[in-house]
């Protein structure tokens, strides 16, 4: 789990214990080996604690999965304890990443923690360290996929609202900074720039909120209209055995002709199946649950988009609100918006399992690039009018 992966300075032998191969170092381990093993030990303990802390806020299957991951980290911990022997008595603090994961797991227990844990599992050094067993390296690869699956569940639950929030905040930051810089470059008074920024905030937030509401509502209605129903369960018993279009239903849904004929025979009661036949003839019932949770709700997306657009759009006008004018106000607005773009980009990076720094820098380049273009256009417009 730690990133301090260095090659050992001796060739390990092997012994078998509980079906796994454990390296045995015939010569005295070096000081570098001991430091590295202590770091691995500390990180394994810290990450096992992370999974246990996350399990406390989960129920059912997710809880069992997290506890199983903690148990696996415990097996890795036992491996490093065996290698260290008496050297294990001196504890070493976990890496900063592991400590951060532990803090977030204890106080938040959110999908952000799982996204960070996914990255940590994917960067395990065990595959290149001769002191680790091949089974341990394989464990870490599997752990990454397990955590990815758990994180995906959380991403799906917040995907719709989160998308609206991120896009809303970034649109507010970029559009209002561009508006403010364009107006300021044209040579108008700072009070006019402030009023323009406030108008842009209100108009943009209302437009984004309304647009998200219509977009998400329309998307959910479209998905609901295209999702197959179970009306065939109720209609099948009443169809003419020789003349019916039930086969066409399944062909239209994309089944092969053979699979469609098999399904028709089941529905018409012409084919025995190993399921309860009474279930196939029950009328359609209202289905519980939200089948489009990744899309989000219309009101949730609209409110998120409105609030986050407003929170982003207020950042560029804060210097003008507090009385700054001219170049000083513009420079402060650029700095504040730049920091906000780095944060929002980093959050997207964390949740998507990619580099937060790369995503943050990308957001920064796009946002400031758009503002710079608007500033140049404002200068040109001011020169023409003047």
pLDDT of residue 13: 44
What is the tens place of the pLDDT at every residue in 146-155? 888 887 776 6
Of all helices (H) and strands (E), which one includes residue 159? helix 134-185
Specify if 293 maps to a domain. no
Last residue of a domain, one of 155, 178, 204: 155
Last residue of a domain, one of 139, 155, 171: 155
Specify if 92 maps to a domain. yes
pLDDT (mean) for 218-235: 59
Specify if 285 maps to a domain. no
- Contact present, 131 and 12 (Cβ < 8 Å): yes
**Per-residue CA distances from 110 to 53, 63, 147 (Å):** 11, 14, 13
Which residue, among 189, 170, 173, 198, has the nearest Cα to 321 in the 3D structure? Answer: 198
Q: Is it the case that residue 137 has pLDDT exceeding 50?
A: yes
Of all helices (H) and strands (E), which one includes residue 14? strand 13-17
Q: Is it the case that residue 11 has pLDDT exceeding 80?
A: no
Last residue of a domain, one of 155, 179, 201: 155
pLDDT of residue 281: 37
pLDDT of residue 384: 57
Same domain, 138 and 81: yes
Same domain, 120 and 90: yes
CA 295 to CA 191: how far, in whole Å? Answer: 41
Same domain, 276 and 328: no
* Residue 230 CB neighbour total at 10 angstroms: 12
What is the tens place of the pLDDT at every residue in 176-205? 999 999 888 888 888 999 999 999 999 988
Same domain, 140 and 176: no
Same domain, 98 and 239: no
Same domain, 212 and 117: no
What is the tens place of the pLDDT at every residue in 86-131? 887 777 888 777 787 777 777 666 677 787 787 778 788 898 999 9
Specify if 140 maps to a domain. yes
pLDDT of residue 299: 81
pLDDT of residue 269: 64
Specify if 4 maps to a domain. no
DSSP line for 181-197: HHHHHTT--HHHHHHHH
Which residue, among 193, 167, 169, has the nearest Cα to 182 in the 3D structure? Answer: 193
pLDDT of residue 197: 92
Same domain, 128 and 70: yes
CA 33 to CA 141: how far, in whole Å? Answer: 23
CA 173 to CA 167: how far, in whole Å? Answer: 10
Same domain, 30 and 94: yes
Domain residues for the domain of 244 are 228-280
Q: Is it the case that residue 323 has pLDDT exceeding 70?
A: yes
Specify if 6 maps to a domain. no
Mean pLDDT, rounded, of the chain: 76
Domain count, the chain: 3
What is the tens place of the pLDDT at every residue in 28-78? 788 899 989 999 999 999 889 989 988 888 888 888 999 999 999 999 999
Q: Is it the case that residue 279 has pLDDT exceeding 50?
A: no
pLDDT of residue 243: 45
Specify if 77 maps to a domain. yes
Same domain, 203 and 185: yes
- Contact present, 56 and 111 (Cβ < 8 Å): no
pLDDT band at 298 (very low <50, low <70, confident <90, very high): confident
Same domain, 254 and 125: no
Specify if 232 maps to a domain. yes
């Amino acid at each position: 789990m730690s990133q301090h992966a260095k090659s050992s300075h001796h060739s390990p032998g092997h012994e078998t214990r509980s079906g796994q191969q454990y390296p045995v170092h015939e010569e005295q381990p070096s000081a570098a080996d001991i430091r590295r093993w202590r770091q691995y030990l500390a990180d394994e303990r810290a990450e096992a604690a992370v999974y246990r802390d996350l399990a406390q806020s989960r129920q059912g299957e997710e809880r069992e999965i997290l506890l199983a991951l903690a148990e696996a980290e415990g097996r890795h911990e036992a491996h490093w304890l065996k290698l260290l022997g008496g050297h294990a008595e001196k504890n070493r603090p976990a890496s900063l990443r592991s400590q951060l994961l532990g803090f977030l797991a204890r106080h938040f227990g959110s999908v952000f923690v799982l996204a960070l844990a996914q990255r940590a599992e994917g960067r395990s050094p065990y595959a290149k360290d001769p002191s680790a067993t091949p089974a341990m390296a394989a464990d870490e690869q599997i752990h990454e996929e397990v955590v990815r699956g758990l994180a995906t569940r959380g991403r799906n639950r917040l995907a719709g609202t989160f998308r609206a929030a991120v896009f809303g905040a970034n649109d507010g930051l970029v559009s209002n900074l561009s508006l403010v810089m364009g107006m300021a470059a044209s040579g108008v008074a700072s009070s006019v720039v402030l009023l323009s920024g406030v108008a842009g905030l209100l108009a943009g937030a209302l437009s984004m909120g309304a647009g998200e509401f219509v977009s998400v509502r329309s998307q959910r209605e479209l998905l609901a209209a295209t999702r197959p129903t179970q009306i065939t369960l109720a209609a099948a018993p009443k169809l003419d055995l020789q003349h019916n279009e039930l086969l066409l239903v399944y062909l239209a849904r994309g089944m092969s002709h053979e699979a469609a004929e098999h399904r028709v025979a089941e529905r018409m009661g012409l084919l025995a199946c190993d399921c309860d036949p009474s279930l196939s003839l029950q009328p359609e019932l209202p289905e519980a649950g939200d089948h489009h949770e990744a899309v989000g709700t219309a009101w949730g997306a609209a409110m998120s988009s409105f609030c986050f657009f407003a929170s982003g759009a207020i950042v560029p006008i804060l210097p003008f609100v507090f009385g700054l004018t001219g170049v000083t106000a513009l420079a402060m607005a650029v700095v504040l918006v730049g920091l906000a773009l780095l944060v929002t980009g980093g959050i997207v990076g964390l949740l998507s399992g990619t580099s937060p720094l790369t995503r943050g820098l990308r957001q920064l380049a796009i946002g400031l690039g758009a503002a710079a273009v608007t500033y140049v256009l404002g200068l040109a417009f001011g020169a023409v009018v003047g």
